């Protein structure tokens, strides 16, 4: 559906059409670096960074605990 084909009666249509245009531009400019999570999931690849975040949080917690003991 084209954004320009929307009815122009609504009060925020112009703002919405502008936002759609900016979003399209962003997607077109960054399509190379965007991750297709559907493909990753279907091929069995990891799509979450939760394990990495948990490891980082554990390291930071240990560092803070050592600082408090000193």
Stated as kind and residue range, the H or E segment containing 23 is helix 13-30
Least Cα distance to 2 among 11, 12, 13 occurs for 13
Q: Determine the structural domain holding residue 47 and report its residue range.
A: 3-69
Q: What is the pLDDT, as a whole number, of residue 30?
A: 94
Q: What tens digit of pLDDT does each residue of 1-13 get?
A: 566 666 666 777 8
Distance CA 44, CA 38 (A): 10
pTM value > 0.85: no
Q: What is the pLDDT, as a whole number, of residue 51?
A: 82
Domains contained in the chain, number: 1
Q: What tens digit of pLDDT does each residue of 30-47 get?
A: 999 988 888 988 999 888
């Amino acid at each position: 559906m084209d954004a320009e084909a929307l009815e122009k009666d609504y009060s925020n249509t112009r703002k919405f059409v502008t936002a759609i245009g900016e979003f399209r531009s962003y997607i077109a400019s960054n399509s190379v670096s965007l991750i297709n999570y559907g493909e990753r999931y279907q091929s069995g690849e990891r799509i979450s960074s939760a394990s990495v975040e948990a490891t980082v949080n554990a390291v930071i917690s240990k560092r803070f605990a050592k600082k408090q003991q000193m």
